[in-house]
Chains A and B, each alone.
Chain A
Amino acid sequence: MNGEPIYGMMAEFDSAAALLEATKRTNQAGYRKIDAYSPFPVEGLAEAVGFHHDEVPLVVLIGGIIGGLTGYLMQYWMMAVDYPLNIGGRPPHSWPAFIVITFEMTILFAGISAVFGMLALNGLPMPYHPVFNVPRFAFASKDRFFLVVFSSDKRYDPVETRKFMEGLDPVSVAEVPS
């Protein structure tokens, strides 16, 4: 405690069920700015930390629509406007032939939007993150489960919050330096 800014308080658990239970209790205790970390997806955990919806589906939808329009209009412009070719006597604007490319472009743009939209909304790449200041957090990608209450939470108090989190039956509790 030398006046260094504090990022939050971290508790470590040894099972997904314990983390889920602790997260629910922390939420019930009124803490809102919390986050949980686990080596694999835990069903119900997102709801427990109060995570309701994200913007990725919207980004994917917009990406897909742009991709579809690009694919169709590109073919229309090439086949019917810029360089019309007579293929088997069909009209230049033959929509059935355009559908496959339109579909592929929709999938391509939606897929790329999903990946980059997810990265952007997650703030990635992120070369520095305070949680790694706690050495034991390295186990979050192996077999340990972590819950963090951020110091930005209104109810955060260095002493009270630590006491509360020790009451959640964790393996260890540590303060996270910023």
Chain B
Amino acid sequence: MATASVATHDTAHDHHDHEHHDNFVTKYIFTTDHKMIGKQFLITGIFWALIGGLLSILFRLQLGFPDMNLEWLRPLLGGWITETGQLDQTFYLALVTMHGTIMVFFVLTAGLSGTFSNFLIPLQIGARDMASGFMNMLSYWFFFISSVIMFISLFIKTGPAGGGWVVYPPLSALEQAIPGSGLGMTLWLIAMTFFIASSLLGGINYITTVINLRTKGMSFSRLPLTIWAFFLTAVIGLLSFPVLFAAALLLVFDRSFGTSFYLSDIYIGGEALPNTGGSPVLYQHLFWFLGHPEVYIVLLPALGITSEVIATNSRKPIFGYKAMIISMLGITILSFIVWAHHMFVSGMNPFLGSIFMFLTLIIAIPSAVKVFNYLTTLWRGNLIFTPAMLFSIGLVSFFISGGLTGIFLGNSAIDIQLHDTYFVVAHFHLVMGSASFFGMVAGIYHWFPKMFGRMMDARLGYVHFWLTFVGVYMVFFPMHYIGIAGFPRRYYSWTGFEFSNMYTDLNMFVSVAAIITFAAQFIFLFNFFYSMYRGRKASQNPWRSNTLEWTTPIHPGHGNWPGEIPTVYRWPYDYSKPGAKEDFIPQTVPLSATPESNLPHEQELVKLELEIMKEESEALVANEAKES
């Protein structure tokens, strides 16, 4: 009860204030409105995606065209181009590291989860705003500080961190190791600390909001699958990010204070370092305890968005709603007990490896359930191929093709051959990178009308989709072959070894495909910014969808609904219900209003529903009478 009245108080306040008190700063910069914060995360995420993509193009140039003269990049890269016109070798490592860090954390965690959890949770559960608007604002600004620090680290003289996005010690712990382990690594650690704080503030807010601020009738069994996904993502983040913090803290002590948590018996130039008694494998355990759940932090929101988009555009209820929830719960729990499959070749106990292999392969079950449910939702649906729908189907495709290779990699014996080869790169770029990216893009196309009140151009969307979809397969499919042949990831050059010489053509092909795919993203960028100002004006419910966000005005103010928050009477997937007049029934339509389409058990619920509504209106009348 306390919650409800607090929420109302805020709203009433907002209604009076936002007409004349919102200036530029409180509306666009230090805003506490979840919708604007979501957009801030989105714009920052897009910025980082461009940087991250550009870095990958730079190192793809080196991999595909090792003899190319890169003198023309000197204006951008300066001293990182050597005198012979080649890419500097340590800078190559920094590029790979920063590409990974940026894409995993800044784009697919903050850009995806930050955007859509913020934007959609209050709108879809029927809340005025997040539980704490201030904490939400703080979450964005911590992310912003983190972004600034990480961005600055790209430009320092010794270059950004270069030890791989996993920053394993001792490479990352010793300044003497590579130039990137100096100031670049320090900035990396500071930036990640702010990032962790931002994620935790956001996550605490998402969980609190979903549990405490749902509108009347919005039981957990009526939540859209998007909200389930965001909720579980936040739970995973809440449990795993503190562990990364612990790992990073010990690394900071090793780097700056001379402790030996991860360092032991290291000789540099024949001289022994004073550190003894540390264990680098300890870092790997701590890191992957975050690192593996992080995969699902990245993936689950995309899967949630896909569930919503596919059900809406198939005009069919999602197949197996409960199975979807249970499999997401399963993934959440399993994600915490499989981390050591990243460490099969780290020298850990092979018996332990078998246990982790077994647990890892179990994840195939909930994943397969989800894929099955997507396909059966599509099966014989009245498919409407909006760009969002295409990207969602694309996600399912990547999830299958990338997921299958996960079964190989999860085997501790096969992993001996495949570990740290391009096979791994192909696997996770398909199943986690591209799939999540497609989920994010699908979400943008789908909710753009709600964000900006205008539609994105569908034809440009189709061009964007086909170029990206084909492009992604062109880039990552050949990598499987290179990986099976045994070529390790993160290597600067292919020409140094006999066995990999023959792959130069394939690499050239991959690089060209990568450049085309990257270029195709500018179609999206143009579409995004052009449509924001010049796009066709959106109607209130352009996709004829059931969820609550489409009951708000086209340009919702701070507080989302001008009047009362609507009550929810049904689950969000009543599409094409037999007997119904339209092929969708929004969640706000009472069962008593649709006697023609109610199922027998729902007819029973109608009586209960009418009773509750009667009681409520009596109470309301009594209250009004008391007041006057």
Chain A complexes with chain B = no
